[in-house]
Amino acid sequence: MARVPRRKVTVIGAGNVGATTAQQIIETGLADVVLVDIVEGLPQGKALDLAEAAPVIGYDVRIVGTNDYADTADSKIIVVTSGIPRKPGMSRDDLIATNATIVGGVVKAAAAVSPDAIIIVVTNPLDAMCHVAMRASGFPKERVIGMAGVLDSARFRSFIADELEVSVRDVRAFVLGGHGDTMVPLPRYSTVGGVPITELLSPERIEQLVDRTRNGGAEVVALLKTGSAFYAPAASVVEMVESILRDRRRVLPCAAYLDGEYGVRGLFCGVPVVLGNGGIERVIEISLTPDERAAFDKSAEAVRELVEHLPA
Ligand code: APR
């Protein structure tokens, strides 16, 4: 009897975020993983190490490392983490140009052999890289998704839980907009056990937590000094992967290509979406107060500016 292949997730970039994502996917037994990098030996070495942990931890999905996109064929999901970090003296435009070339190249190669895949983009600057991935793959908007909001809201949730000394499990947070500085948290939709945090914390304290969330990435970079966050980013990717593979239809904040929703057309922006087997099943629209609207528009404008800096 012919063997039915297991579901396959390709993770491009075997650095901190990519390798940790691969580890978390196989440890939850969600799918076989193919780890790809441009550096020879790096994905092979990390995949071998992870495969050798399998008997101890007890996962039985497979992981392979490769430099060859042929090995990624027929993936259900392609996670893109390849890129370079911003180096001292490098302008934002230089970073965008370099990462756009990297993301464009890897997406083209991976999409060619997995034409039905769903792409999850992680490489920064996130919203701009989503555009590059959509252009390079030619995939429809439902199948190109950016990971940002899950991470931003996870950070916000962890700070709220700490502040109120409650379990993170009971804290929900709602964020909109671009990744980072222009993120738009919505405190009135952020809840602890169903109670909006506006009932539990002072506006000043909420603003402080929001600020810390906006700078969450920078706070980790300042401590690490030689790299950026990877545990929480990887966990956030895996939550999205799981919702897609298991068709859970979780409502998660993701960067989605807006086609008129929230009054925005032709831009990737962080919004709540239903994530299922087909990728983005639906964008959920909520009404915004004038202040929230202004913050969202500012965020969309910042994304538009980034996209305009993309090489043609
Ligand atoms: N093809 C494949 N892999 C590549 C390519 C390429 N063309 N160019 C670079 N890479 C690989 C690097 O060799 C490296 O192993 O991408 C990997 C990036 O890993 P790290 O430098 O460890 O970066 P990481 O911390 O994982 O972050 C990756 O995610 O959160 C974002 O801002 C972060 O954009 C960054 C990305």
- Residues with catalytic annotation? 179
Residue of 94, 228, 236 to mutate, ligand 1, most atoms within 8 A of C-beta: 228
Selected residue with higher pLDDT from 252 and 179: 252
Domain 8-148 has CATH 3.40.50.300: no
Question: Which tens digits make up the pLDDT trace of 54-84?
Answer: 999 999 999 999 999 999 999 999 999 999 9
Angstrom distance (rounded) from CA 52 to CA 55: 7
Task: Answer yes or no: is the C-beta of 128 below 6 A from any ligand 1 atom.
Answer: no
Instruction: Return the ∠ at Cα 123 (arms to 46 and 107), rounded to 5°.
Output: 80
Give me ligand 1 centre to Cα 37, in Å: 8
Say what the pLDDT of residue 53 is: 97
Mean pLDDT of 141-154: 96
Share of the chain above pLDDT 90, in %: 85
Its pTM surpasses 0.95: yes
Closest by CA position to 213, among listed 285, 267, 162, 271: 162
Token reading at 60: 């039985």
pLDDT-based confidence at 92, cuts 50/70/90?
confident
CA of 83 to the centre of ligand 1 (A): 4
pLDDT at residue 86 in the model: 77
Ranges of CATH 3.40.50.720 domains, the chain? 8-148
**C-alpha dist (Å) from residue 129 to 69, 83, 161, 250, 283:** 20, 10, 32, 24, 20
- CA trace torsion 40, 23, 280, 67 (10° rounding): 10
b/e burial code for range 132-165 (CB count within 10 A of at least 16 → b): bbbbbbebebbbbbbbbbbbbbbbbbbbbbebee
Query: pLDDT band for position 5 (50/70/90)?
Result: confident
- Percentage of the chain surpassing pLDDT 70? 100
Instruction: List the one residue out of 290, 237, 268, 265 whose CA is nearest residue 9.
Output: 237
Q: Is the pLDDT of residue 163 over 80?
A: yes
Q: What is the rounded CA–CA span in Å between residue 182 and residue 302?
A: 7
CATH code that applies to domain 149-308: 3.90.110.10
Q: How confident is the model at residue 124 (pLDDT cuts 50, 70, 90)?
A: very high
Closest C-alpha among 119, 166, 168, 170 to residue 145: 119
The arithmetic mean of pLDDT across residues 271-292, rounded, is 95
Q: Within the chain, which residue ranges are assigned CATH 3.90.110.10? A: 149-308
3 with 20: CB under 8 angstroms?
Answer: no
158 CA → ligand 1 middle, Å: 26
Best of 11, 39, 98, 236 for a ligand 1 pocket test (most atoms within 8 Å of beta carbon): 39
